């Protein structure tokens, strides 16, 4: 079941990349495991998945530290894709290879401080909010450049790129302008001297469009593991 889902996704990812004249190897699959149990994650590792995304620090901690998954830790990369509160930065630095959701100078400074303490260089993405939705996190377009500039001076952070999450649309084409905009913002920032190779964008419903627009990481949960219970 899992294998069928995952191979179907890889196929769609490859086709989307090729349609855009891109190399399929430049797009990474982040399997989103929020609410997914340890057994299913183990199975996902066994069929070859290596990058997993969690949206809550506490839930991730249980999984990362579990006996079953700890023994596989050399093979697994954990990504934080949900909002991070400053007071959890310490735990996040211990758990995650990449934090997709840096959205303030204060959070970046705290992550830097905690990383310095443990001698880690923490990889991060800046989350940009391109819609007006109240419920979404992220910096506005105007706040993005100052945040990128601030992170440049935080030597225990390595800024790898940008992340966004458009509103949910039934029709994935509706999400295209958001993906395109994130890519434009990246290109503008690169003109100003930032190096932002990673674009984390696209979910189960719209990852093919995101890849056509330049995504290098797609975050997919439902299409791999099935509907989440709420
Ligand atoms: C849950 C979640 C996803 C995955 O969503 P699916 O629709 O299940 O693929 C991706 N990104 C973020 C930030 C999420 O919270």
Tokens of 151: 């992170």
Verdict on whether the full-model pTM lies above 0.95: yes
Ligand 1 closest atom vs CA 163: 13
Nearest CA owner, ligand 1 atom 10: 219
Residue 48 Cα distances to 37, 43, 51, 181, angstroms: 17, 9, 10, 32
Residue 227 alpha carbon to ligand 1 centre in Å:
11
Ligand 1 pocket residue status of 100, Cβ below 6 Å: no
CB of residue 99 inside a 6 A radius of ligand 1: no
| 198: β partners | 161
Ligand 1 nearest atom to the CA of residue 228, by list position:
8
Each residue's pLDDT expressed in tens, for the chain with a length of 230 residues: 899 999 999 999 999 999 999 999 999 999 999 999 999 999 999 999 999 999 999 999 999 999 999 998 888 999 999 999 999 999 999 999 999 999 999 999 999 999 999 999 999 999 999 988 777 799 999 999 999 999 999 999 999 999 999 999 999 999 999 999 999 999 999 999 999 999 999 999 999 999 999 999 999 999 999 998 75
Give the domains, in start order, of the chain with CATH numbers: 2-225 (3.20.20.10)
Residue nearest to atom 12 of ligand 1 (CA): 81
pLDDT, residue 136, reads: 76
Contacts of 159 (CB under 8 A, 6+ apart): 124, 125, 126, 148, 151, 152, 194, 195, 196
pLDDT score of 132: 83
* Alpha-carbon span 96 to 93, nearest angstrom: 6
């Amino acid at each position: 079941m899992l294998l069928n889902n995952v191979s179907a996704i890889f196929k769609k990812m490859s086709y989307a990349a090729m349609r855009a004249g891109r190399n399929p190897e430049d797009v990474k699959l982040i399997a989103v495991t929020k609410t997914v149990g340890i057994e299913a994650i183990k199975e996902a590792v066994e069929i070859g998945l290596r990058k997993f995304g969690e949206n809550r620090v506490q839930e991730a901690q249980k999984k990362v530290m579990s006996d079953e998954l700890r023994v596989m830790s050399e093979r697994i990369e954990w990504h934080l894709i949900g909002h991070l509160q400053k007071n959890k930065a310490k735990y996040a630095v211990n758990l995650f290879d990449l934090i997709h959701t840096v959205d303030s100078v204060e959070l970046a400074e705290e992550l830097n401080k905690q990383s310095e303490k443990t001698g880690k260089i923490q990889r991060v993405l800046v989350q940009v909010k391109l819609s007006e939705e109240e419920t979404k996190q992220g910096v506005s377009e105007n706040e993005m450049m100052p945040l990128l500039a601030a992170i440049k001076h935080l030597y225990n952070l390595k800024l790898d790129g940008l992340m966004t999450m458009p509103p949910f649309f039934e029709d994935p084409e509706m999400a295209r302008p958001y993906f395109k905009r994130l890519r434009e913002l990246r290109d503008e920032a690169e003109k100003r001297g930032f190096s932002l190779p990673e674009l984390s964008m696209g979910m189960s419903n719209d990852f093919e469009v995101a890849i056509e627009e330049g995504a290098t990481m797609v975050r997919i949960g439902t299409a791999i593991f099935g509907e989440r219970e709420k």
